[in-house]
A and B are shown apart, each in its own frame.
Chain A
Amino acid sequence: MAAPPTSINDLLNGVESIKDQVKEIREIILANLVMMGEIPAPTFEEEARIRFFLDRFTEAGLDSISTDEVGNAFGFIRGSEGEKNILVAAHTDTVFARTVDHTVRVESSRIFGPGVADNSLGCAVVASIPKILQHLGIQLKQNVLLMGITRGLGRGDLEGIRFFMNNAKVHIDYGLFVEGAQLGRLSYTSVGMLRGEIRCNIPDEYDWTLFESSGAISILNEVITKMMAIPLPTKPKTTITFGSVSAGNSYNTVPTSGSLHFEIRSEQTGMVGKLQQSLEELTDEVASNTQAEVTLNVIARRRPGGIDFSNPLTKAARRIQESLGIVSKIQPSVGELSALIDKEIPGLTIGITKASQMHSLNENIAIDPIFSGLAQLVGILQAMDGEFFDE
């Protein structure tokens, strides 16, 4: 068994060799990726992936292997002291429907398949951690709770991680979330976010002679024009993104319903709430002008927060990335990390490798950078374990 690092410098000296050692069990990690990737897991239908996690946890002899009411998977690697708990987790759901062909294709330097980067690789890594630590001969002082998280994306709205954070019987001291891509990603703050849908419905008794109108499309157009006229501060950065709009299905039939999907992000506390209020007023105004039903539904909300750039944990993570030649890309998270931040628990989200064509059927990842990504993960885990944050 390798002597555990005693300081951050000690740890930094060792990460490069971790990279080479992890390569020795490459096929185990890639096989987990292939098997995980071929299990469809649209949000709310993650059971089969969760089962795979539990099987791997059982094979590795983890402690307290279980699931909960929302289907999350858990397994503990007990530490030698076990006073603190470090959560290492990946969201299991993907954006692809069950009907999509989930066959994974392996080439010598890349792996292709829907969801391989987001987040089959993250899942495969979490499921492989017991083997990785075993291969490296690393015995941690603190407990590591491995978790496969359900119901993260879209309408899942982080239900899986939130349920755990609200009901967990163990206290989590640090969190580390694993995403397949991109290598270098380092998130330690959560940005304020609101995802919403504006629906427009024209009632049957609508008086078509009242206005010169092309139905739901022109009403949504009015909504969009008004939204674009809302003044947004450039600092702290605030944005509104229109994600999709749908209405109608022919050339000459006036559509009676339609919807608009959008996302607001802001680094300023309170800004998202203010904008939500503006949108409510705006939709009410359009509704009364047009006599159509125009409603705002909030699909997801995140509060801004997190630790600082100069926080010792983020500093340690950046130094680990740097010593592996990984260029840190600081980006705020709207994912699982924000559920931790809500509870004021320090946490990070990292990426494992380089990916391209994310969220397309041709989504693919590079194999070689995975090992830097894994060395980074092990390094951060050791830093959290030893709380090497002082230097």
Chain B
Amino acid sequence: MSNKKKTWLETNTFHHSEFWNLLHLIEEKEKQGLKISLCIPTLNEEKTIGKEIIIFKSELMNRYPLLDEIAVIDSGSTDKTLEIAASFGADTYLSADILPKQGFKPGKGENLWKAIHQLNGDIIVYVDADIKNIHPRFVYALVAPLIYHKKIQYVKAFYDRPLAFSQGVRPSGGGRVTEILIRPLFAMFYPDLTGIIQPLSGEYAVRRGVLQDLPFPIGYGVETSHILDVYHKWGMDAFGQTDLDQRVHRNQTTISLGKMSFGILQSFFNRMQKYGTIEKLPELNQIYKHFQAQDQQYQLIEQTIKEEERPPMSTIPEYRKKFGLRKQKA
């Protein structure tokens, strides 16, 4: 292992227990005059959303005023997600209602992107809505490295508590897609990035200055492409990662992980080309194929998975106006 990576792992990897002192964290936040927004992207999450809102509102707004706003940005749930979220005091938005001139694309990345315009925080923390064992640490332990370390721009969660380890690198606790697809790709092309233990985790906190300059794939590729973009533009030192112990959530089927991987690969190859890591790609197929069997009959299922991408928010005129950015040079 290179010395550089070891240093990054040592200095930029945290455990949530380091940040138990919320009073101190809030003091520091206020000293820096920061505003912090929580964004929960949703699509039919009525089973878990109520609990998340209650916990975050009670612990991180009422008791300890770390969060300035809690927002649910929804892709069009057909269940009671929004009703429940609103009843416990979250601000609720339909993704389609934000930046109406930009249109609406269905996808989680779209909600994350629109949050940058809708929310006012200097830091936005994204937390998925399907966490069963929700706890305030899912927010404060991601925000804390940004408050305490000026250089860090983008903090990812990971969920992995080794019983014992003696070396600089701990055994990884990534999911199936991470271990079978992402880490081998990173190891091959961006060895530094293998230090990010769970590149696909849906929980991260980011400074506005970075968020507004990131393009957003709206589908599966959003986390992967963020990592590559932040790495190219701000370098490894911009990343932090925090161990949040355990995350209990729904398990996905292998088929759906296949689709996810297909989407991620599109984003990954596009980035490789953009950054000149590879010279010329053939046109990438956007039809994903998998099989379904009925008795002895095998049926080929085809599905279009197109990783559409939103441009950096800082290029959107409405955003520049709202946040008082100077006119862009032509």
A residues whose Cβ falls under 8 Å from a Cβ of B: 25-28, 30-32, 34-35, 38, 59, 103-108
Interface of B is mostly: helix
5 closest cross-chain pairs (CB), A and B: A106-B50, A31-B58, A27-B58, A27-B57, A108-B87
Tell me whether B80 and A34 are in contact (CB under 8 A).
Answer: no
Given contacts A27-B57, A103-B248, list 12 more A-B pairs with CB under 8 A: A27-B61, A27-B89, A28-B58, A34-B54, A35-B55, A104-B51, A106-B84, A107-B46, A107-B50, A108-B50, A108-B84, A108-B88
For B47, B58, B80, B89, the residue with the greatest tally of chain A CB atoms inside 10 Å of its CB is: B58
14 contacts between A and B (CB under 8 A): A27-B89, A28-B58, A30-B54, A31-B58, A31-B59, A34-B54, A103-B132, A104-B51, A106-B51, A106-B54, A106-B88, A107-B80, A108-B50, A108-B87
**Looking at the complex, which one of A28, A104, A107 makes contact with B84 (CB distance below 8 Å)?**
A107
Would A28 and B80 be within 8 Å (CB), given that A104-B51, A105-B50, A108-B87 are in contact? no
The reply on B167 being an interface residue by CB < 8 A is no
**Looking at the complex, which one of A25, A28, A32, A34 makes contact with B51 (CB distance below 8 Å)?**
A34
Closest to B80 in A: A108
| Residues of chain B within 8 A of A108, CB atoms compared | 50, 80, 83-84, 87-88
| Residues of chain B within 8 A of A38, CB atoms compared | 133
| Residues of chain A within 8 A of B80, CB atoms compared | 107-108
Count class of interface residues, chain B: 20 to 34
How far in angstroms is the closest Cβ of chain B from A332? Answer: 35
Cα of A103 to Cα of B55 in the assembled complex, Å: 14
Tell me whether A31 and B55 are in contact (CB under 8 A).
Answer: yes
Q: Which of B41-95 contact A (CB under 8 A)?
A: 46-48, 50-51, 53-55, 57-59, 61-63, 80, 83-84, 87-89
How far in angstroms is the closest Cβ of chain B from A127? Answer: 12
How far in angstroms is the closest Cβ of chain A from B171? Answer: 27
Tell me whether B47 and A105 are in contact (CB under 8 A).
Answer: yes
| Residues of chain A within 8 A of B48, CB atoms compared | 105
Would A27 and B88 be within 8 Å (CB), given that A107-B50, A108-B83 are in contact? yes
Closest to A34 in B: B51
Would A31 and B50 be within 8 Å (CB), given that A108-B84, A108-B87 are in contact? no
Closest to A37 in B: B51
| Residues of chain A within 8 A of B87, CB atoms compared | 108
Cα of A108 to Cα of B46 in the assembled complex, Å: 9
Tell me whether A34 and B63 are in contact (CB under 8 A).
Answer: no
How far in angstroms is the closest Cβ of chain A from B48? Answer: 8
Cα of A32 to Cα of B62 in the assembled complex, Å: 13
| Residues of chain A within 8 A of B54, CB atoms compared | 27, 30-31, 34, 106
How far in angstroms is the closest Cβ of chain B from A52? Answer: 12
| Residues of chain A within 8 A of B62, CB atoms compared | 25, 27-28
Closest to B55 in A: A31
Cα of A26 to Cα of B62 in the assembled complex, Å: 10
How far in angstroms is the closest Cβ of chain A from B136? Answer: 9
Cα of A231 to Cα of B240 in the assembled complex, Å: 75
| Residues of chain B within 8 A of A107, CB atoms compared | 46, 50, 80, 84
| Residues of chain B within 8 A of A34, CB atoms compared | 51, 54-55
Q: Which of B89-132 contact A (CB under 8 A)?
A: 89, 132
How far in angstroms is the closest Cβ of chain B from A242? Answer: 39
**Looking at the complex, which one of B51, B59, B88, B248 makes contact with A105 (CB distance below 8 Å)?**
B51
| Residues of chain B within 8 A of A104, CB atoms compared | 51
| Residues of chain A within 8 A of B51, CB atoms compared | 34, 104-106
Closest to B136 in A: A31
Cα of A61 to Cα of B249 in the assembled complex, Å: 35
Cα of A229 to Cα of B63 in the assembled complex, Å: 60
Cα of A34 to Cα of B54 in the assembled complex, Å: 9
Closest to B23 in A: A59
Cα of A32 to Cα of B59 in the assembled complex, Å: 9
| Residues of chain A within 8 A of B46, CB atoms compared | 107
Cα of A35 to Cα of B51 in the assembled complex, Å: 10
| Residues of chain A within 8 A of B50, CB atoms compared | 105-108
How far in angstroms is the closest Cβ of chain B from A216? Answer: 43
Cα of A107 to Cα of B84 in the assembled complex, Å: 6
| Residues of chain B within 8 A of A32, CB atoms compared | 58
Cα of A34 to Cα of B62 in the assembled complex, Å: 16
| Residues of chain B within 8 A of A30, CB atoms compared | 54, 58, 88
Closest to A33 in B: B54
Cα of A104 to Cα of B248 in the assembled complex, Å: 13
| Residues of chain A within 8 A of B83, CB atoms compared | 108
Closest to B46 in A: A107
Cα of A28 to Cα of B80 in the assembled complex, Å: 22
| Residues of chain A within 8 A of B55, CB atoms compared | 31, 34-35
How far in angstroms is the closest Cβ of chain B from A102? Answer: 10
| Residues of chain B within 8 A of A103, CB atoms compared | 132-133, 248
How far in angstroms is the closest Cβ of chain A from B74? Answer: 15
Cα of A176 to Cα of B10 in the assembled complex, Å: 52
How far in angstroms is the closest Cβ of chain A from B42? Answer: 14
How far in angstroms is the closest Cβ of chain A from B83? Answer: 6
Closest to A128 in B: B58
